Amino acid sequence: MNSEDRADSGGPVLETRGLLKQFASVNAINYLSIAIPKQGITSIIGPNGSGKSTLINVLSGTLPIDDGIVIIQGAAMRAILPYQSPSHGVTRTFQEVRLFNQMTVWDNIMVVLTERSVLKSLFEGNRPAYQSRAKELLESVGLWEKRRDQAESLSYGQRKLLEVGRALAMDVRIYLFDEPFAGLFPAMLERVTQLLEGLKQQGKSIIFIEHNMDLIRRLSDYTFVLDSGELLAEGPVNEVLERPEVIEAYLGT
């Protein structure tokens, strides 16, 4: 990924223009236009059903775009194929943890490190470079001791951490975290917080969805508030959370 050289130029890292995503006749994302800043941690908040997860699903190609365009690092797209999202510099975690359950913790990390080309991957073994990277990642999420366990045997928090670790394994520019903190014990929560801040220090762009106001205040540099698939407010986090329409949207649900 040749993203570092573009890192310091201004402008948004990720932009949507008139983005539409419909489910049946409901506009889950209603002609949304936002521009996510290049630096730091951006949070997306909003009541349930406001389209936060849908937005991440669309940005990562998990759901197709119905209308509008997405501009990722300057490249405008009307459609994003899921397997192309890493080459656009995007990776993600899922709201409902989606691990490779009947594979070991080790293989869950290894599988995203290896060769993407079919032919090359057929002739590729466990390269030492992959192994040391996998070890490093598993240690950073505190699952090194569990490496031989099946992913499905992990506790909820551990599964969540493994998924964060799997996203960190991707050397990309933009990290989309869909509620990475939900249901975590304080110790684990602290670990994920540090991992996100570590990413920020590396100059990556982090976008996360969260409901916990303390975490949002503590972590995010910039915030978007969505409501019914539309942008309700945006700006620096403390300023946005003071706005009456934001407070109302939250209290209203």
Q: Where is 14: in which H helix or E strand?
A: strand 12-23
State the minimum distance, in angstroms, from the CB of residue 84 to another protein: 8
| CA Rg value for the chain | 18
Distance (Å) of CA 192 to CA 23, 58, 182, 188, 197: 32, 24, 11, 6, 9
The answer to whether 160 and 188 have CB atoms below 8 angstroms apart is: yes
State the minimum distance, in angstroms, from the CB of residue 225 to another protein: 26
Give 144's DSSP letter: G
Q: Which CB, 75 or 83, lies closer to another protein?
A: 83
Residues that bind another protein (CB under 8 A): 60-62, 82-87, 91-92, 94, 98-103, 107, 110-112, 114-116, 118, 121-126, 166, 170
Q: Residue 154 phi/psi, 5° resolution?
A: -75, 160
State the minimum distance, in angstroms, from the CB of residue 145 to another protein: 13
Q: Which CB, 8 or 96, lies closer to another protein?
A: 96
Candidates 62, 14, 51; CA nearest to 209 is 51
Q: Which CB, 121 or 253, lies closer to another protein?
A: 121
Q: Which CB, 112 or 196, lies closer to another protein?
A: 112
State the minimum distance, in angstroms, from the CB of residue 62 to another protein: 6
